[in-house]
Chain A
Amino acid sequence: DAGVIQSPRHEVTEMGQEVTLRCKPISGHDYLFWYRQTMMRGLELLIYFNNNVPIDDSGMPEDRFSAKMPNASFSTLKIQPSEPRDSAVYFCASSLLGPNYGYTFGSGTRLTVV
């Protein structure tokens, strides 16, 4: 199994531009999570899906952030417009049976907004 695949690994963009992060979960995993990691705030859960349906998006910072999961093998996290304070590492993770059974994380996307 290839694990959770995220793209791109690195993204540098200018303030105001749209950014789209992509994630392919492990096949058969019904849960997908988007996390953001910064030095100041640590790991923050942004949103999670179960069977492609958003379950909890209370961690999404503001309306500039949106996430979709059009099918079981693909999810996107979009930021529009991007701001310097969005600079962080964004992780996607998937789980077979839910958070209580542990996650498999992708390698992350390091986003820099200048």
Chain B
Amino acid sequence: AQSVTQLGSHVSVSEGALVLLRCNYSSSVPPYLFWYVQYPNQGLQLLLKYTSAATLVKGINGFEAEFKKSETSFHLTKPSAHMSDAAEYFCAVSVTGGYQKVTFGTGTKLQVIP
């Protein structure tokens, strides 16, 4: 069965600083990987997804993530944090072929300090 581990339930960064949210996955077959963002009192919104086409994936709002098979990682980054980036971020994994089921991580709350 596939799983993801998000390191750090809370991350604080200063406005303008680099955002780095960590995600490691476990899967016995090639994975699909996702990052979702949840703003307060809203549903989750897809930021970006990795589906094996390219290891560096660019998403919305200036975010990107790099798939590193050797490290089983899919960390989310943004060069410069904005106040509007404050939200909760979820990493998720699914597997190619057969029965499709997405497993979500426990989430990381990003605080942006002015």
Please list the residues of chain A having a beta carbon within 8 angstroms of any beta carbon in chain B.
4, 42-43, 45, 56, 91, 93, 98-108
Task: Known A99-B100, A100-B96; judge A107-B46 contact (CB<8 A).
Answer: no
A107: chain B residues at CB < 8 Å are: 41-43
Main secondary structure of the interface of B (DSSP, over half): loop
Q: Are B94 and A99 closer than 8 Å at their CB atoms?
A: yes
Q: Are A105 and B102 closer than 8 Å at their CB atoms?
A: no
Q: Are A105 and B43 closer than 8 Å at their CB atoms?
A: yes
A101: chain B residues at CB < 8 Å are: 49, 51
State how many angstroms separate the Cβ of B8 from the closest Cβ of chain A.
15
Main secondary structure of the interface of A (DSSP, over half): mixed
B77 at the interface (CB under 8 A from A): no
B44 at the interface (CB under 8 A from A): yes
Task: Known A42-B107, A43-B90; judge A99-B102 contact (CB<8 A).
Answer: yes
- Beta-carbon nearest neighbor of B42 in chain A: A107
State how many angstroms separate the Cβ of B94 from the closest Cβ of chain A.
5
State how many angstroms separate the Cβ of B43 from the closest Cβ of chain A.
3
With A99-B101, A105-B45 already in contact, 6 other A-B pairs whose C-beta atoms are closer than 8 Å: A4-B43, A42-B104, A43-B44, A45-B101, A103-B44, A108-B43
